[in-house]
Structure 1
């Protein structure tokens, strides 16, 4: 076991010596997840810088299943437990703390936060970096807009590098958070798609983005046709298939999915239908858009649709189910709703929901 100060050449300060594992900073997020799964991550202490390009991740015992550079003895104060703790330390009043952000997410090396009416954004950003030592940039989320659903973000603290690699359940997503959207609240749904698909299934992902659902499904052994029209998102989609070792199972198209489907699914040869189709676009159920019609035409009898929608609270799940049933009736195909789920709150009075259905 080696020893060393957590801040490079900084002298040791008196305090209780505890264990930490040293890893490269780009791996910090995935290592923390793995340490949590093993039950040895110590969330009562800070992740700290170590030897320039590394970080020291606090642990309660040496890990048995996680590869690390070394196990070290770490000296340091106990973690301030909350953002409010850090802001109080910076002199914030209780009234100001009431306006501080209540939620945020760490995506790779970036913290995404909705600032709302919080005062002094720079101090909030610095406090979030102190709270999350594995991150080096804090972005304020200002919304998403445009035909390609592009994010509007502002750097409020840190290095300002918006390109990162985010890891979830073993899937690596490379992306630039200033260029393409990423919803931390969809984490469970991304993981679920990798769990329910079977090896050898033919899958159509009509709004693939950077590979949100494509990657976990392909990693599970499915053959996926992934369609994305945003050129930046498409570039990351292709890069991410290679990053995750699934390029041979993903046929990627930069186009409007309706145009691709109108010319047929050549990727599947004579079997030009799919076993499963994912419509991850919030407005995919809009009857005027025709996305459901194209999905139904591509789906083999007995296939499954996963339809996403942002629905007014008073119409959950009535509206997406009615739209799906109407499109299926127009196509002359029986449909059976298998499951309905709330994914997250999208905005005030609006819910992101998913409907799973079997179509014969």
Structure 2
């Protein structure tokens, strides 16, 4: 079955194409470039791609009323996270301070800033290319409530400021929980914790990590909800835990 995703005027596929399949996509989408997406690597989340057709890899993608400028050869695009980006757009409110610990090009920060309109979103990103496009997207969407920060969030010089924290990362997210609780306000708040977990561990491992880290920093977990985002591997899900914690 031929599956593809159109990002602006670039099409992403996950396998090589026959000549017939390529012509079908070109006729159907009128795209300028077709790219085989082969995954991401390293802490900078750099994509590995193969250009199948065309040459240009920078585009502007419109999703849910927001504009995202990106270069698919330099920064990742989460192909299966569309519904989660829409959900996050409306989850905050104008009184909140939000820290997006893995902001990327603004996948969550941009729609949240536009629709929820929190007082401020700190968008932290370690990849210079993604940081560049984050700044471009703040300007493209004419947002005044997003402050981009280039650097490693583990050494971020901010403490006890956030009502809400977005941890839109997978595989190593648990190693950043200490910093998340340092960023939370003393009275507590909400953490959106992404991870990849086996089906049998969905209701234990991720919640346990949050609960134990909360206790170490003087908080208690008062509520959580687990949502499946997409299948990551056989028997393994990319999930998000919405965890509400309060200061003890």
Give TM class, smaller chain.
Answer: over 0.9
CA gap 1:139/1:122 in 2 versus in 1, 3 angstroms: farther
Q: After superposition, what is the alpha-carbon deviation per residue over 1:265-305, rounded to whole angstroms, capped at 9, x for unaligned?
A: 5xxxxxx511100011113543xx2x111111211224111
For residue 25 of structure 2, what is the aligned residue in structure 1? Answer: 128
Tell me the TM-score normalized by structure 2.
0.92
Matched, 1:258 2:146: no
Matched, 1:326 2:212: yes
Report the alpha carbon displacement of residue 122 of structure 1 after superposing the two structures with TM. Answer: 4.3
Matched, 1:279 2:175: no
Q: After superposition, what is the alpha-carbon deviation per residue over 1:22-68, rounded to whole angstroms, capped at 9, x for unaligned?
A: xxxxxxxxxxxxxxxxxxxxxxxxxxxxxxxxxxxxxxxxxxxxxxx
Report the alpha carbon displacement of residue 348 of structure 1 after superposing the two structures with TM. Answer: 2.8
Matched, 1:161 2:56: yes
For residue 39 of structure 1, what is the aligned residue in structure 2? Answer: none
Q: 3-state SS of the aligned residue for 2:50? A: strand
For residue 105 of structure 1, what is the aligned residue in structure 2? Answer: 5
Report the alpha carbon displacement of residue 177 of structure 1 after superposing the two structures with TM. Answer: 0.5
The ranges of structure 1 where at least 4 consecutive aligned residues each deviate by more than 3 angstroms after the TM superposition are: 120-123
Q: How does 1:215-226 map to 2 (within 5 A)?
A: 215-219=110-114, 220-222=116-118, 223-226=120-123
User: Superposition RMSD on alpha carbons, in Å?
Assistant: 1.6
Structure 1: unaligned runs, 5 residues or longer: 1-100, 266-271
Tell me the TM-score normalized by structure 1.
0.65
Q: 3-state SS of the aligned residue for 1:140? A: strand
Q: 3-state SS of the aligned residue for 1:184? A: coil
Report the alpha carbon displacement of residue 349 of structure 1 after superposing the two structures with TM. Answer: 2.7
Give the number of aligned pairs: 243
Matched, 1:201 2:86: no
Q: How does 1:1-360 map to 2 (within 5 A)?
A: 101-115=1-15, 121-133=18-30, 135-157=31-53, 159-219=54-114, 220-222=116-118, 223-246=120-143, 248-260=144-156, 263-264=157-158, 272-286=160-174, 289=175, 291-300=176-185, 301-360=187-246
Is the 1:284–1:307 contact (alpha carbons within 8 Å) kept by the matching residues of 2? Answer: no
**Highest relative contact order (Cα 8 Å, sep 6+), 1 or 2?**
2
| Mapped partners of 1:122, 1:321: distance in 2 | 47
| Mapped partners of 1:348, 1:149: distance in 2 | 22
Structure 2: unaligned runs, 5 residues or longer: none
Report the alpha carbon displacement of residue 310 of structure 1 after superposing the two structures with TM. Answer: 1.2
Is the 2:188–2:219 contact (alpha carbons within 8 Å) kept by the matching residues of 1? Answer: no
Is the 2:226–2:239 contact (alpha carbons within 8 Å) kept by the matching residues of 1? Answer: yes
| Mapped partners of 1:104, 1:348: distance in 2 | 21
Report the alpha carbon displacement of residue 102 of structure 1 after superposing the two structures with TM. Answer: 3.7
